[in-house]
Amino acid sequence: MVTQDPSFDHVVAVTPRGAASYEVVVGRGLLGAVDRFLPDGVSSLALVCDETVADLYAPVVRQALERTGLALVEIRFPAGEASKTRATKARIEDAMFEAGLDRHSLVVALGGGVTSDLAGFVAATFMRGIATINLPTTLLAMVDATVGGKTGIDTPAGKNLVGAFHHPLAVAADVGTLRSLDPRLVLDGLAEMIKHAVVADEAAFAELSLLPSRLDSLDSGEWAKLVADSIAIKAGVVSDDPTELGRRRILNFGHTIGHGLELLFHWRLSHGRAVALGMVAEARIAEKLGLLQAVDRRRIEDLLDRFGVLSLGPVDSGALLKAMARDKKNRAGRLRMALPSRVGAMHEFDGRWVTDVPVEVVVAVVEELWGQAG
Amino acid sequence: MVTQDPSFDHVVAVTPRGAASYEVVVGRGLLGAVDRFLPDGVSSLALVCDETVADLYAPVVRQALERTGLALVEIRFPAGEASKTRATKARIEDAMFEAGLDRHSLVVALGGGVTSDLAGFVAATFMRGIATINLPTTLLAMVDATVGGKTGIDTPAGKNLVGAFHHPLAVAADVGTLRSLDPRLVLDGLAEMIKHAVVADEAAFAELSLLPSRLDSLDSGEWAKLVADSIAIKAGVVSDDPTELGRRRILNFGHTIGHGLELLFHWRLSHGRAVALGMVAEARIAEKLGLLQAVDRRRIEDLLDRFGVLSLGPVDSGALLKAMARDKKNRAGRLRMALPSRVGAMHEFDGRWVTDVPVEVVVAVVEELWGQAG
């Protein structure tokens, strides 16, 4: 499945504030070359992945890791968000202790966002923190989870409620793995790539507009460049605001409405669709507030529409608002959103990157997009 | 129980590398003035304490916190190390979510080391980290847990194996709480204070040598100064080495043998006694290795002996070595110890603060101190 000759096509340097900088390498055949990313002084290794990814890619990764001669334990968990629990975290930790891992051990997280969240959180708290190397195997994990250091698990009270900021030592994004990716999962990543372009990089937006609506050749060199560019956008935004209090909030574009839709539809909408729909709604909100011109709003909408994800049954705006109020980011019942001012830039006023949005504007946009007629 | 007029006797500034600096205030009547330590922008509060401490001190702390007008939830757990588990952590977190706490909430940790470890770890990972204020109520927690940012829980595989570095926003050490402290718990703290003096401050050692062997007046102003001095020693050592790779290792004096004894006696030895015994043994090891003069070794032993903690039944040196090998710090079976070079300074060679100790030297010292005749 995976090319044997590794090509290190692109390298993005990430410099989180208050933590060591690291590199994200985007290329092909990287899974089989993961041993090159290990630092000196590592005592032993844990390879953590879900069962689906294990069947596809664990053998080639294990083979590369075994070249180091270090003791290696492979720990699998059932695929899916349902595994992002305290119980799975405890089981992985106990397996690591059982295997004799210590504070000089290193975790290799192989898989999508669930794996980097879960295995990253395990590493963040294992003996108060050990190193990780991330091997993302989904487009979303490549363009989103590789930068920012967010790790965590879900609790009965909600998603990602318990976790830590923990940056990896290195990330190797092997686009060869994208060939096996479910098209809906491709969309999850693509929505984030479009978001990155809208919030900070018009040239990247233009490049994405050249994509065919039916995506293939996801393992090509051209695609590797698009992925690396998207990672670089996020790295630029996050590096000057690592704890999510200032400009980093622009990365929330599409997510206030999007997360509300996810809650309203009980997570039956894919994340990519929810964010795509959220971006369309929030762009319309920005237009209604006089922050965004109609022509730019239409450009955003047209690009998203190309991937056929914007149809949605009727949405009750009252129920959506109630769902949004349960979002941890909507503090004290106020609706605040990061909104675009044009394609490639976000609205900023007096150092603040979020805008208070009147409830009536949200209701009007929801009716317009997904009212009974829609 | 607690003085109503607070006196802020001493302030120690702590400047951890890579994290915000904070102050440790040592004084009297501080529990009833905890509201003065709260920063702006806090949304709500959780007061976390064990049931024993709750009965003694929660009312006065709650009264002070209620003056802020902020929503407050009090969360209690059963006293003792047995509560330092994943299950207790989850229960505290769930109670916090239930009470509607968010990422702007603050945790007040009221109690001894178990509480600051547990509540600190909860805070470290609650929505990826919220602020804490520590109110230590044991001598050990005051002189040890207030500096260094270590938090964590125990797992079936051992103590403190899962955790995080998380520094408090402020610490208020109210020596009024020491009046109610069990004498064995006083010894736990005193052993650490003696350790701090041995590793870095001969003047503090001289001051401790003036203490009466039967400790009382633990809530006096003089005692507050001794406590503050001890905190300042640790703060000095830790501030230039926050992640425990360099000079901070000198704080491990007495703990290699001490921790081995704790494991050997299945934690039936108090931590203070184990560390006191460990310091005596490690000082003798330093002497045998030619690093410490006999006169200094004797000064350390005499001071510890004054508190009547050095008697111990026979110890099987083989069993002790086996127990020490299970310690997470004894990597790859090598015995390494931080050893004193005189009272107030530790041995350093070529930038390294730990010394490889031959097994035979450990065996000889164990036989000498706690052999069959002992």
Q: What is the DSSP string of A124-167?
A: HHBTT--EEEEEE-SHHIIIIITSS-EEEEEETTEEEEEEEE--
Mean pLDDT across B54-59: 97
Nearest chain B residue (CA) to A94:
B157
- Chain A residues within 8 A of B331 when measuring between CB atoms: 43, 102, 104
pLDDT number for residue B241: 66
Contact at 8 Å (CB) between B278 and B284? no
Of A63-67, A105-109, A215-219, A285-289, the least confident: A215-219
pLDDT number for residue B119: 98
pLDDT at A318 over 50: yes
Closest Cα partner for B274 from B236, B315, B218, B246? B315
pLDDT at B5 over 70: yes
Q: In this prediction, what percent of chain A has a pLDDT beyond 70?
A: 94
Is residue B2 very low, low, confident or very high in pLDDT (cuts 50, 70, 90)?
very low
Is residue B331 very low, low, confident or very high in pLDDT (cuts 50, 70, 90)?
low
User: Who among B94, B150, B157 is closest to A128 (CB)?
Assistant: B150
**Run of H or E including B153:** strand B150-155
**Run of H or E including A170:** strand A170-174
Mean pLDDT across A68-81: 97
Nearest chain B residue (CA) to A328:
B102
Instruction: Take residue A46 and report the two structure tokens written for it.
Output: 């844990």
Contact at 8 Å (CB) between B296 and B345? no
User: Who among B97, B150, B331 is closest to A102 (CB)?
Assistant: B331
Mutate to test the interface with B, among A125, A238, A336 (most CBs of B within 10 A): A125
Dist. CA A98–CA B18, nearest whole Å: 32
pLDDT at A181 over 90: no
How confident is the prediction for chain B on average, in pLDDT? 91
Mean pLDDT across A57-67: 97
Is residue B307 very low, low, confident or very high in pLDDT (cuts 50, 70, 90)?
confident
Q: Distance from CA of residue A322 to its chain's centroid? A: 25
CB pair distance less than 8 Å for A94 and B124 = no
Considering the candidates B84, B255, B284, B297, report the single residue annotated as catalytic: B255
Tell me the whole-structure pTM to 2 decimals: 0.92
Nearest chain B residue (CA) to A44:
B332
Is residue A184 very low, low, confident or very high in pLDDT (cuts 50, 70, 90)?
confident
Cβ neighbours of B358 (radius 10 Å): 12
Strands B71-77 and B355-356 turn out to be unpaired
pLDDT number for residue B94: 98
Q: How far is A330 from chain B (nearest CA, A)?
A: 10
Contacts of B238 (CB under 8 A, 6+ apart): B14, B16, B147, B148, B248, B251
pLDDT number for residue B213: 66
pLDDT at A332 over 70: no
pLDDT number for residue B238: 85
Dist. CA A295–CA A255, nearest whole Å: 22
Is residue B199 very low, low, confident or very high in pLDDT (cuts 50, 70, 90)?
very high
CB pair distance less than 8 Å for B162 and A125 = yes
pLDDT number for residue B4: 58
pLDDT at A373 over 70: no
User: Who among A126, A164, A332 is closest to B125 (CB)?
Assistant: A164
pLDDT number for residue A306: 87
pLDDT at B53 over 90: yes
pLDDT number for residue B212: 75
CB pair distance less than 8 Å for A125 and B129 = no
Amino acid at B277: L
Mean pLDDT across B115-128: 98
Is residue B174 very low, low, confident or very high in pLDDT (cuts 50, 70, 90)?
very high
**Hey, which residues of A are catalytic here?**
128, 150, 192, 234, 244, 248, 252, 255, 259, 271
pLDDT number for residue A264: 92
Is residue A312 very low, low, confident or very high in pLDDT (cuts 50, 70, 90)?
confident
pLDDT at A57 over 70: yes
Task: Say how many CA atoms lie within 13 Å of A344 toward its Cβ.
Answer: 8
- Chain A residues within 8 A of B161 when measuring between CB atoms: 93, 97, 126-127
B150 part of the active site: yes
What ipTM does this complex have? 0.91
Nearest chain B residue (CA) to A161:
B127
Three-state DSSP class for residue B136: strand
Mean pLDDT across A319-343: 82
Strands A345-346 and A340-342 turn out to be antiparallel
Length of chain B, in residues: 374
pLDDT number for residue B311: 81
Q: Checking phi first, is residue B329 left (phi over 0); if not, alpha (psi -120 to 50) or beta?
A: alpha
pLDDT at B334 over 90: no
Is residue A222 very low, low, confident or very high in pLDDT (cuts 50, 70, 90)?
confident
Taking any CB pair shorter than 8 Å as contact, residues of chain B touching chain A are: 18-19, 43, 86, 90, 93-94, 97-98, 102-104, 121, 124-129, 150-152, 155-158, 161-165, 328, 331-332
Taking any CB pair shorter than 8 Å as contact, residues of chain A touching chain B are: 18-19, 43, 86, 90, 93-94, 97-98, 102-104, 121, 124-129, 150-152, 155-158, 161-165, 328, 331-332
User: Who among A157, A165, A332 is closest to B128 (CB)?
Assistant: A165
- Chain A residues within 8 A of B124 when measuring between CB atoms: 164
What is the count of residue pairs from A and B with beta carbons less than 8 Å apart? 84
Is residue A139 very low, low, confident or very high in pLDDT (cuts 50, 70, 90)?
very high
pLDDT at A1 over 70: no
B104 part of the active site: no
CB pair distance less than 8 Å for B158 and A97 = yes
- Chain B residues within 8 A of A43 when measuring between CB atoms: 331-332
B334 part of the active site: no
pLDDT number for residue A4: 59
Strands A170-174 and A131-136 turn out to be parallel
Tell me phi and psi for residue A352, to 5 degrees.
-105, 140
pLDDT number for residue A374: 41
User: Who among B97, B98, B161 is closest to A127 (CB)?
Assistant: B161
pLDDT at B282 over 50: yes
**Which single residue is written with the structure tokens 């050095």?**
B310
Tell me phi and psi for residue B288, to 5 degrees.
-65, -30
Instruction: Provide the greatest CA pair distance for chain B.
Output: 64
Q: How far is A328 from chain B (nearest CA, A)?
A: 7
Is residue B330 very low, low, confident or very high in pLDDT (cuts 50, 70, 90)?
low
pLDDT number for residue B1: 46
Dist. CA B182–CA B178, nearest whole Å: 9
DSSP per-residue letters across B72-121: EEEEEE-SSGGG-SHHHHHHHHHHHHHTT--TT-EEEEEESHHHHHHHHH
Between the CA atoms of A260, A264, A270 and A271, what dihedral angle is there, to the nearest 10 degrees?
A: 20
Is residue B3 very low, low, confident or very high in pLDDT (cuts 50, 70, 90)?
very low
Three-state DSSP class for residue B372: coil
- Chain B residues within 8 A of A86 when measuring between CB atoms: 86, 90
B306 part of the active site: no
